[in-house]
Amino acid sequence: MLSKIILAGFGGQGIIVAGKLLASAAMKLGKNVTHFPSYGAEMRGGTCNCSVVISDKQISSPIINEPDVAIVLNKPSKDKYEPKCKTNGMLILNKSLIKDETKRTDLKVGYIDASEIAERIGNSKVANMVILGAFAKITSLVNINSLIDSLKDVFPTMPDKLLDLNIKALQEGFNLAYVI
Amino acid sequence: MEKVQLLKGNEALAEAAVRAGCRYYFGYPITPQNEIPAYMSKRLPEVGGVFIQAESETASINMVYGACSCGARAMTSSSSPGISLMQEGLSYLAGADLPAVVINVMRGGPGLGNISPSQADYLQSVKGGGHGDYNLIVLAPYSVQEIVDLTIKCFDLAFKYRNPVMLIADGMLGQMSEPVVLPKMIDVKDDLDWVVGNGNHAIIHSLYLNPEDMLEIHNAKLQKKYEAIKNECIEFEKYLCDDATSIFVSYGTPARVCKAAIDELREKGIKVGLFRPISLWPFPEKELNELASQVANHSGKVIVVEMAKNQLEQDVKLAVNGKCEIVALNKLGGAIFNETEIIDFVLKDRK
């Protein structure tokens, strides 16, 4: 098993840290993982992405050319990564911010109203967690419990109240994701 | 046994240095290694150490010179343009037999270049970017776990040989996160008779004015040390070399990409392997030369894969010494290899 996943969105949407949580959760399940962020001149509002590779074997290359799964939180990221996805790959979309139809017909497409759900449960900043919950539901590459268990490793100083909100976001994403 | 953690290369490196006994860090910020000073600024005070953000890279390396003169486990880190500024200090450290550890998380050049991963400082590191006949021990990891292991080794070797040691990693390795197991905190008891403040020692220097009876002798002593290092510190990895008809030579991130390419090429029935130098100086010359004979017997090639132009390739040529054909695949200016390019290069080259 070798899965190459790209997470992409606006700077400030928590893309890098969501990738770290995903990698951490997969690691907890005994997988080999790499996490590589776009780094340097990133800024709030600009685009940013990270690459997560999950494998049963040693990971040779942390670099992703054709992702198996692209998790995209905004339209520019969908436009960039939809064409790059592997044949018969998967796209998981933040439906709140991406209204366009997908052009490719070979891709399996998962939907979640990540930003709207995040706002409804208390804070738009947890849209990244909502879409990760959706990812867990749609792909089964990680399970929701391993994501929840990893929160404390990735956010060691997070107060309980915010931890609870993040857990809720993961669960809502898991429960409300759908595939067409 | 410590638990497995998901750590970024730069942060893992910094924690490994602390566990290897590093208590003095001097540095000046530059991407893509900023997580090292950021981590050290928080961590060193917790273990009774000292962190100073110097006013420049020149100041940093000379602060390291001072701390090392007192026998402290001290380090600095930077990225390519900053390391250029440290070259004078590195030559002084070598001339004064000081056990400094210097980290270069390389970025694209020349000049200010960019912040993307690169390996274009290979020759500067292994051939001596500073003046005089000197050598640094140069180690090159290719995974976050190896960053941890080699950082600890850097301090061990520096003190064993009283020689500056440099670890070079491309920006990719500094920025990526992988599961790692950290060693326990090492209880360092350096008993050093040469340090300032011990007995009659009051000065550490690299100035020997009289050539015949001073500097020539000092240089001979240094060369003797370098010979010992050449005999004792060679490190490398061979991946699927036993039956290989052609061999990649690569280190750092490109070596990982070569491994991915090798797995795919072998599925197509093409027998390639990887020779990965881990010690860049001393370079595993003899071992590569032996492999070159094997490659020559199969009329194969040695394929150098580096994110630089004709740098690692120069050492490969010296090692292979004309035994077989050498071709090179290069990426310049901070661009990164993907395995498809490497596979295509091999397939095209075979036609």
Chain B closest CA to A36's CA: distance in Å?
4
Match domain B237-350 to its CATH number in 3.40.50.2000, 3.40.50.920, 3.90.245.10, 3.30.56.10: 3.40.50.920
The residue ranges of DSSP E strands in B4-95, in sequence order, are: 4-8, 24-27, 50-53, 74-78
* Model pLDDT, residue B197: 82
* Model pLDDT, residue B119: 98
What are A36's two structure tokens?
Answer: 């590589």
Strands B74-78 and B101-106: parallel
* Model pLDDT, residue B28: 98
Confidence band, pLDDT 50/70/90 cuts, at residue B213: confident
Confidence band, pLDDT 50/70/90 cuts, at residue B1: low
Q: Report how far residue B288's alpha carbon sits from residue B295's, in angstroms, rounded to the nearest whole number.
A: 10
**pLDDT surpasses 80 at B312:** yes
- Across chain A, mean pLDDT equals 94
Q: How many CB atoms lie within 10 A of CB B37?
A: 25
What are B261's two structure tokens?
Answer: 């390419």
What are B61's two structure tokens?
Answer: 């390396």
Q: Where are the domains of chain B?
A: 4-232, 237-350
Q: Which residues does chain B have within 8 Å of residue A59's beta carbon, measured at their own beta carbons?
A: 178, 256
Chain B closest CA to A101's CA: distance in Å?
30
Q: How far, in Å, are A21, A148, A172, B5 from residue A34 at the CA level?
A: 12, 19, 27, 12
* Model pLDDT, residue A171: 98
Overall average pLDDT of the B133-141 stretch:
98
**Cβ(A77)–Cβ(A131) below 8 Å:** no
Q: Residue A119: CB partners within 8 Å, gap ≥ 6?
A: none
Q: Which residues does chain B have within 8 Å of residue A27's beta carbon, measured at their own beta carbons?
A: 4, 6, 179
Nearest partner of A126 among A105, A149, A151, A103, judged by Cα: A151
Q: Where are the domains of chain A?
A: 2-179
**Cβ(B144)–Cβ(B176) below 8 Å:** yes
pLDDT digits (tens, 9 = 90+) for A33-44: 999 998 766 677
**pLDDT surpasses 70 at A64:** yes
* Model pLDDT, residue B203: 86
Q: Report how far residue A75's alpha carbon sits from residue A77's, in angstroms, rounded to the nearest whole number.
A: 5
What are B290's two structure tokens?
Answer: 């032996």
pLDDT digits (tens, 9 = 90+) for B242-298: 999 999 999 999 999 999 999 999 999 999 999 999 999 999 999 999 999 999 999
Burial of residue B183 (CB within 10 Å: 0-12, 13-18, 19+) is middle
Q: Which residues does chain A have within 8 Å of residue B340's beta carbon, measured at their own beta carbons?
A: 65
CATH architecture of A2-179: 3-Layer(aba) Sandwich (3.40)
What are A24's two structure tokens?
Answer: 């951490």
Kind plus residue range of the DSSP H or E element containing B263: helix B252-267
- Across chain B, mean pLDDT equals 96
Strands A90-94 and A69-72: parallel
| Residues 221-240 in B contacting A (C-alpha not used; CB under 8 Å) | none
pLDDT digits (tens, 9 = 90+) for A65-118: 899 999 999 999 999 999 999 999 999 999 999 999 999 999 999 999 999 999
What single letter denotes the amino acid at residue A152? K
Q: How many CB atoms lie within 10 A of CB B195?
A: 17
* Model pLDDT, residue A80: 94
The three-state secondary structure class of A173 is helix
Cis peptide before B45 (omega within 30 of 0): no
* Model pLDDT, residue A40: 65
**Cβ(B277)–Cβ(B236) below 8 Å:** yes
Kind plus residue range of the DSSP H or E element containing B156: helix B144-161
The answer to which of B113-117, B209-213, B235-239 has the lowest mean pLDDT is B209-213
Q: How many CB atoms lie within 10 A of CB B45?
A: 11
Which fold is adopted by the domain B4-232?
Rossmann fold (3.40.50)
**Cβ(A115)–Cβ(A153) below 8 Å:** no
pLDDT digits (tens, 9 = 90+) for A116-155: 999 999 999 999 999 999 999 999 999 999 999 999 999 9
> Tokens 């901070």 identify what position?
B334
**Cβ(A81)–Cβ(A6) below 8 Å:** yes
Of A40, A62, A153, the CB nearest to B176: A62
Q: What's B115's DSSP letter?
A: S
Confidence band, pLDDT 50/70/90 cuts, at residue A55: very high
Q: Which of B4, B5, B6, B145 to mutate to test the interface with A (most CBs of A within 10 A)?
A: B6
